[in-house]
């Protein structure tokens, strides 16, 4: 097997493969020079996860640190420790960016072309199975809208995805443009040393405060073995996430009221909560933003930060002129304006020499693509922790591989031949970063097994319990051959 990407899901895939398919050989191709993916790439102040680590962590390796909502360096350390513990690090080819992959039906294998990022040399790999673990963020470029008058501003304009290591903002006036998870993270972190931080948003997001430490996890760790405490906390948090999401979809007005009440309780009397923290959309039409221990609300309350809801007219030499006529003075502008998405890392796919248009393919069980043999992808939830779904996908792929070996199959493919099935966008969020790119992604179907329900309990049944031979997943044989992974010698 070839695994594309050495981030959270790529390392997890390798560990699952070693645990469940120990006879399989594999290699990981990673475009960058280190593991960790998102958690190594993003270096902006306060970088952390919105998800608790008892669900973002791997199912097979407990998270034992005190903080449940963890910072980026701690998450990266967890991934690195996991890779070392399972002997995965030695299987990674760093600096290898996969550019194309062509499946041969005659050979029942993939021919994969990777480009070395240090020399530009193209290297070919051959493998029986291909697993995409590249997420859907474009790592080399974030999204920055056109900022009128940007050439007049005399200070730096920084995107969080390209955060300079030597950027000094201590004692400076900072404007953070954006209202999403990145902005919610940046503002309280920068407010600790900046003269003042202003969060400038065109429209509000839902922001909820959660404890940084999980009281149940701390208590259970004192009386139970680490894995038992971890699994119990994981079960509790999955249940709470599911309840929150279902309540948001079924009773949005109630969830709006609860979120509003939480914000009011943490902000000063008279704060205009409805202007700055009351979105026009329903909860979970976009992801909820989390601030651990209410750090954003605390910064707004103590005056080290403020929030302004307005539109930009133009940048000036020393700040931003708003459409309302107000001026925001700034020494530094941070454009926390979103991400660019790319499907399967931008790899050009073909089957028997015929290029594939990903937008015409349909996702089977959130794990495989219609008409694409011997390949799978790890895509997490939009309404819960990424790793919850990726763990299930990896377990499922291992089930498929073992099933093929036991019965002598060389090829597996999901076949969509239901004429009544209609297609829908793969990602069901109204967020700008999704809407800008979702048309280039594979589609989901109107019903199972082609529909992504964003529901962990449904997926446990679909991926762990249902029979593999369901009439959609088709297995076929080929000339007898052993597992083959042709990997060029490392330079």
- Please write the tens of the pLDDT for every residue from 158-181: 999 899 989 999 999 999 999 999
Task: Give the predicted TM-score (pTM) of the model.
Answer: 0.92
C-beta neighbour count of 110 within 10 angstroms: 23
Q: Where are the alpha helices (DSSP H) in 86-225?
A: 181-191, 215-223
**What is the pLDDT, as a whole number, of residue 481?**
44
For 439, the 3-state DSSP assignment is helix
**What is the pLDDT, as a whole number, of residue 388?**
94
Q: Is the pLDDT of residue 142 over 80?
A: no
Instruction: Name which of 92-106, 132-146, 350-364 the model is least confident about.
Output: 132-146
**Encoding tokens for residue 482?**
């052993």
C-beta of residue 152 within 8 angstroms of C-beta of residue 23:
no
Please name the residue that has the structure tokens 């009439």: 471
| Spatial separation of the C-alpha atoms in residues 430 and 253, rounded to whole Å | 18
Q: Is the pLDDT of residue 215 over 90?
A: yes
Q: CB-based contacts of 435: which residues, under 8 Å, 6+ apart?
A: none
**What is the pLDDT, as a whole number, of residue 170?**
97
Mean pLDDT for the chain overall: 92
pLDDT tens per residue across span 83-133:
999 999 999 999 999 999 999 999 999 999 999 999 999 999 999 999 999
- According to DSSP, residue 345 is labeled G
For 330, the 3-state DSSP assignment is coil
Q: Averaged over 125-144, what is the pLDDT?
A: 87
Domain 144-336 sits in CATH at 3.50.50.60
- According to DSSP, residue 462 is labeled I
CA torsion 320→326→330→335, rounded to 10°? -50
| Spatial separation of the C-alpha atoms in residues 5 and 2, rounded to whole Å | 10
Q: Averaged over 363-382, what is the pLDDT?
A: 94
Q: Is the pLDDT of residue 253 over 70?
A: yes
| Spatial separation of the C-alpha atoms in residues 60 and 41, rounded to whole Å | 25
As a 3-state breakdown, the chain gives helix, strand, coil percent values, each rounded to 5, of 35, 25, 40
Q: Averaged over 200-229, what is the pLDDT?
A: 95
Among 156, 106, 176, smallest CA distance to 335 is for 176
**What is the pLDDT, as a whole number, of residue 136?**
82
| Spatial separation of the C-alpha atoms in residues 379 and 226, rounded to whole Å | 27
Q: Judge if 2-139+340-486 and 144-336 fold alike in CATH terms.
A: yes
Please name the residue that has the structure tokens 């070392």: 84
CATH topology assigned to domain 2-139+340-486 = FAD/NAD(P)-binding domain (3.50.50)
pLDDT tens per residue across span 277-291:
999 999 988 888 999
The residue extents of the domains of the chain are 2-139+340-486, 144-336
**What is the pLDDT, as a whole number, of residue 487?**
54
């Amino acid at each position: 097997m070839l695994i594309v990407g050495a981030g959270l899901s790529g390392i997890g895939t390798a560990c699952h493969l070693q645990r469940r398919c120990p006879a399989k050989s594999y290699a990981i191709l990673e475009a960058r020079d280190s593991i960790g993916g998102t958690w190594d790439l993003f270096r902006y102040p306060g970088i952390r996860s919105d998800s608790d680590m008892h669900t973002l962590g791997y199912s097979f390796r407990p998270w034992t640190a005190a903080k449940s909502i963890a910072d980026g360096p701690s998450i990266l350390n967890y991934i690195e420790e996991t890779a070392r513990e399972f002997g995965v690090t030695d299987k990674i080819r760093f600096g290898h960016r996969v550019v194309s992959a062509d499946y041969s039906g005659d050979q029942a294998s993939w021919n994969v072309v990777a480009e070395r990022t240090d020399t530009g040399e193209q290297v070919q790999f051959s493998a029986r199975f291909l697993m995409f673990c590249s997420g859907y963020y474009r790592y080399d470029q974030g999204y920055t809208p056109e900022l009128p008058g940007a050439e007049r501003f005399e200070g730096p304009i920084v995107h969080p995805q390209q955060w300079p290591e030597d950027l000094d903002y201590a004692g400076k006036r900072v404007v953070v443009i954006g209202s999403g998870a990145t902005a919610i993270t940046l503002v309280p972190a920068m407010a600790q040393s900046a003269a003042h931080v202003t969060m400038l948003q065109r429209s509000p997001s839902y922001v909820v405060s959660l404890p940084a430490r999980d009281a149940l996890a701390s208590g259970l760790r004192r009386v139970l073995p680490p894995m038992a405490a971890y699994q119990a906390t994981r079960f509790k948090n999955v249940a709470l996430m599911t309840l929150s999401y279902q309540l948001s979809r079924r009773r949005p007005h109630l969830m709006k009221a609860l979120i509003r009440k939480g914000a009011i309780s943490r902000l000063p009397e008279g704060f205009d909560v409805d202007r700055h923290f009351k979105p026009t959309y329903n909860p979970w039409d976009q992801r909820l933003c989390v601030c651990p221990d209410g750090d954003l609300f605390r910064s707004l309350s103590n005056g080290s930060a403020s929030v302004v809801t307005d539109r930009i007219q133009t940048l000036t030499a020393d700040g931003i002129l708003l459409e309302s006529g107000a001026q925001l003075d700034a020494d530094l502008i941070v454009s926390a304006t979103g991400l660019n998405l790319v499907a399967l890392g931008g790899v050009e796919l073909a089957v028997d020499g015929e290029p594939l248009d990903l937008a015409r393919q349909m996702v089977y069980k959130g794990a495989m693509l219609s008409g694409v043999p011997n390949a799978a992808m790890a895509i997490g939830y939009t309404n819960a922790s990424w790793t919850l779904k990726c763990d299930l996908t990896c377990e499922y792929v291992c089930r498929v591989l073992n099933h093929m070996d036991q019965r002598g199959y060389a090829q597996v493919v999901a076949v969509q031949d239901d004429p009544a099935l209609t297609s829908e966008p793969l990602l069901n969020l109204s967020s700008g970063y999704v809407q800008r790119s979702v048309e280039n992604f594979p589609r989901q179907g109107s019903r199972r097994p082609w529909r992504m329900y964003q529901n962990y309990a449904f997926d446990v049944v679909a991926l762990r319990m249902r029979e593999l031979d369901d009439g959609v997943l088709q297995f076929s044989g080929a000339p007898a051959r052993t597992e083959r992974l042709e990997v060029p010698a490392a330079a």
